[in-house]
């Protein structure tokens, strides 16, 4: 995790989001466009993880007690130190590392599509997980928490400085998809039982970009958990677009990282 530059970036994202909600609204007094029409960029398609950092925590199962760089409080460390893989397996809890708090860090392919004009669907083949990003500010009440929780989504513009700082103020920057997820089952931030609780709130910022002809998106994930963390836990994960979905292969939750041939950092 690159906490310094990532934290700076997320502060800018948070500042820009509130200032730009609802862009692309009414034109000439007509109804506002649907979230699908007003999308700042196209996330649909199949994408594969690019694992260029945190290899020891993402691609292998770390030793129990290895929670370096995660801001756990004493209770969070106690829970992490008590992690028992055999107990998880016996209790049918293999999906704990695949919840919304960590699924974008799992080596995986994701397939993204619109369910309707108000709902974006993200499917991860690792663990056969599905997430629904609902626009409009409300989500249906669930009877009980789930691994992926309930997610609300908004499009906005990221504010950025203009010029060299001599007047002008901030200007609209690249589009961003903000997703806030709550009502989750407790899960793991890492394979070795580093926990987040049912009280956690996960906020994600998706940005699409093109580098030397390689289409990618980056998601910055912010986990706020009053039960187990002393401060926000922030990570950034990247995905490269694939030509088609032929390699998308759903598999059940496992207690070890999926043996996925992730994309090379260079995109080759």
199-228 per-position pLDDT tens digit? 999 999 999 999 888 999 999 999 999 999
**Measured between alpha carbons, how far is 155 from 35 in angstroms, rounded to an integer?**
8
Q: Is the per-residue pLDDT at 149 higher than 80?
A: yes
For residue 149, is it left (φ>0), alpha (ψ between -120 and 50) or beta?
Answer: left
User: CA–CA separation, 39 vs 26, rounded Å?
Assistant: 14
CA distance to 95, 100, 134, 220, 250, per residue, from 150 (Å): 17, 9, 8, 18, 22
Confidence of residue 140 (pLDDT cuts 50, 70, 90): low
Which pLDDT belongs to residue 50?
A: 94
Q: How confident is the model at residue 53 (pLDDT cuts 50, 70, 90)?
A: confident
> 237-246: per-residue pLDDT in tens?
999 999 999 9
Of 162-166, 212-216, 253-257, the least confident? 162-166
pLDDT tens per residue, range 1-45? 444 444 545 544 554 444 444 444 445 567 889 999 999 999 999
Residue 174's pLDDT is what?
72
- Tally the residues of the chain: 268
Nearest alpha-carbon partner for 126 in 236, 262, 258: 258
Q: Would you state the structure tokens that stand for residue 171, as one six-digit string? A: 């200007």
Q: How crowded is the C-beta side of 183, counted as CA atoms within 13 Å?
A: 14
Backbone angles phi, psi at 233, to 5 degrees: -105, 115
- What CA–CA distance (Å, rounded) separates 179 from 203? 6
- pLDDT band, residue 82 (cuts 50/70/90): very high
Q: Please compute the mean of the pLDDT values over residues 172-196 and round it to a whole number.
A: 92
The mean per-residue pLDDT over the stretch 72-82 comes to 98
Note the pTM of the prediction, 2 decimals. 0.83
pLDDT at residue 141 is higher than 80? no
Q: Kindly write down the DSSP assignment for every residue of 128-190, as one continuous string.
A: TEEEEEEESS--PPPSS-BSS-EEEEEEEEEEEE-TTSSSS-EEEEEEEEEEEEESBPPEESS
- Residue 86: phi and psi, rounded to 5, are -60, -35
């Amino acid at each position: 995790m690159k906490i310094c530059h990532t934290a700076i970036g997320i502060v800018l994202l948070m500042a820009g989001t509130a200032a730009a909600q609802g862009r692309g609204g009414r034109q000439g007094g007509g109804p506002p466009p649907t979230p699908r029409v007003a999308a700042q960029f196209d996330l649909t398609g199949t994408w594969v993880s690019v694992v260029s950092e945190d290899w020891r925590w993402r691609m292998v199962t770390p030793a129990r007690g290895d929670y370096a760089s995660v801001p756990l409080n004493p209770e969070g460390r106690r829970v992490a130190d008590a992690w028992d893989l055999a107990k998880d397996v016996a209790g049918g809890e293999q999906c704990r590392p695949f919840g919304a708090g960590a699924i974008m860090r799992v080596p995986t392919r994701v397939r993204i599509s619109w369910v309707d004009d108000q709902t974006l669907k993200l499917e991860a083949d690792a663990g056969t997980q599905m997430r629904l990003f609902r626009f409009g500010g409300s989500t249906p009440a669930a009877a009980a928490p789930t691994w992926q929780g309930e997610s609300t989504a908004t499009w906005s513009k990221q504010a950025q400085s203009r010029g060299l700082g001599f007047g002008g103020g901030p200007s609209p920057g690249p589009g961003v998809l903000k997703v806030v997820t709550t009502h989750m089952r407790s899960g793991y931030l890492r394979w070795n039982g580093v926990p987040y609780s049912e009280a956690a709130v996960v906020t994600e910022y998706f940005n699409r970009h093109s580098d030397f002809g390689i289409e990618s998106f980056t998601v910055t994930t912010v986990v706020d958990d009053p039960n187990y963390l002393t401060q926000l836990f922030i990570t950034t994960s990247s995905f490269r677009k694939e030509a088609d979905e032929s390699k998308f292969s759903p598999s059940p939750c496992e207690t070890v990282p999926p043996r996925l041939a992730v994309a090379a950092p260079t995109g080759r």
